[in-house]
Amino acid sequence: EVQLVESGGGLVQPGGSLRLSCAASGFTVSDKYMSWVRQAPGKGLEWVSVIYSGGNTYYADSVKGRFTISRDNSNNTLYLQMNSLRAEDTALYYCAQDVIWGQGTMVTVSS
Partner 1 sequence: DIQMTQSPSTLSASVGDRVTITCRARQSISNWLAWYQQKPGKAPKLLIYKASSLESGVPSRFSGSGSGTEFTLTISSLQPDDFATYYCQQYNRYFGGGTKVEIK
Residues at the interface with partner 1 (CB under 8 A): 33, 35, 37, 44-47, 50, 58, 60-61, 94, 96, 98-99, 101-104
For the bound state, the minimum distance from the C-beta of residue 94 to partner 1, rounded and expressed in Å, comes to: 6
Considering the complex, state which of residue 11 and residue 45 has its C-beta at the smaller distance from partner 1. Answer: 45
Q: CB-based contacts of 55: which residues, under 8 Å, 6+ apart?
A: none
Considering the complex, state which of residue 49 and residue 77 has its C-beta at the smaller distance from partner 1. Answer: 49
Q: Cβ of 2: how many Cβ atoms within 10 Å?
A: 10
For the bound state, the minimum distance from the C-beta of residue 15 to partner 1, rounded and expressed in Å, comes to: 26
Considering the complex, state which of residue 67 and residue 94 has its C-beta at the smaller distance from partner 1. Answer: 94
Asked whether 100 and 3 are in contact (CB, 8 A), the reply is: yes
For the bound state, the minimum distance from the C-beta of residue 47 to partner 1, rounded and expressed in Å, comes to: 5
Asked whether 91 and 4 are in contact (CB, 8 A), the reply is: no
How much of the chain is helix, strand and coil, in % rounded to 5? 5, 50, 40
Considering the complex, state which of residue 3 and residue 17 has its C-beta at the smaller distance from partner 1. Answer: 3
